[in-house]
Structure 1
Amino acid sequence: PTAQQNITGSGVVVASADREIWTVAVPRSQLSLQGGATVVVGGVGWRETVRVDRSSWSVVGNDSVYSMSIARADGQSRTVYTSSPSTFDGRVAGRNLTLRPVDDGFEIAVRRNGDVVDRGPVPENTSSREIGGLTFERNRSRLYAAGNGTRVVVARAGN
C-alpha cells in the first residue's frame, strides 16, 4: 500500500511516482524573479536537462497572469500550466479589460455591460492593435489601453 500525504510546494516540482518522492526543484520566488531555470532530471543510468520558463503580466489592481512552459534541450517548448484570467481594476471608455494566458502568449478580452465585445492577442513590443473599440499599445514592458481620450497602463510584463 502507498501512503499518501498532503504536502504543498510551489514552483517547479519534480516527482517520481515509482519512487514515491518529489522535490521542489525551482522555488516559485526564483521563477518570479528570474523568469526561468534549467532543471536536471533523471535516475540511475539517465539524465536529461529541461528548461522551464515563466511568462507573465502584472495586471494593475489585480493578480498577475502567467504561463509556464518546458522544453528539452533539443526540443520545442510546450505550455504546461496557465494561471486564471485577471481583470484590470478600472474601466476604459466604459469597458472592462481581462488578460489571460493562452497557448501562444496572452489574450485581452474587452467587456461592456458584462458581455465580451471582442478578444485579441497582446500586441508585440512597440506595436498596437484595436480590440473591442479600444487601442492597445505595448511599449517594452508596459501595456496601455486607450479610448475616448483616456490612455492608461493596464499591465506590466514580468518574467
Structure 2
Amino acid sequence: MVAVPIGLLLGALCRSKGIQAAEAGWMSLLVNAGASQFAAVQLWANDGPRLGPILLSTLLINVRHALMSLTLVPKLAKAGMTRLRMCVALAFLTDPTWGFAEQRARAGLPVTWSYWMGLALVFSAAGLVRPWPARGWAPISAIPGGSARTSRWRPCSSA
C-alpha cells in the first residue's frame, strides 16, 4: 500500500524538522491528505505552527477534491445513497478512494454506502499510522548521521 512509503518519508521529514510523534499523529488525523501534510510540515518547521498559512495551502492543494466529488455524486446517487450519506461519504474522499470508486463504477458495479465506508475506513486508518514508522523505526539512512550504505532497520533514538 502506498501509505507505508509515504509514511516513512513524512515521518523522516517530521523528525528532521523537530516535529514530535504526537504532533505528527494529530496532524495525520486532522490533515488526511499526503501532499498537504508535506506542505504543513514545511510551513510548521519554517514559520512555527501558524494556522492561517497551513489552512490556505491545504485548501489550495486539495481543491481538486471538489471536482472529484462532482464526478462521484451521480454514481453515489445511482447506488441509492441519500444526500446526507453522500456528504458524510465525501468527507472521507481521498485520491485512492476516488480511484477505487471510479474503477468500480466503470465495471458496472454500484458504489454503495458500505463499499465507500469500507474504503474510507481502510484509508483513514492508513492515514493515521503514516508518520509512525519513521518516528519509531526508520532506515539508518533516514536518521541524521546514518548513511545509505548501512541502510538497514533499527530503532530510532529520540536524540
When normalised by structure 2's length, the TM-score is 0.28
Q: Radius of gyration: which is bigger?
A: 1
Bigger share in helix: 2
Bigger share in strand: 1
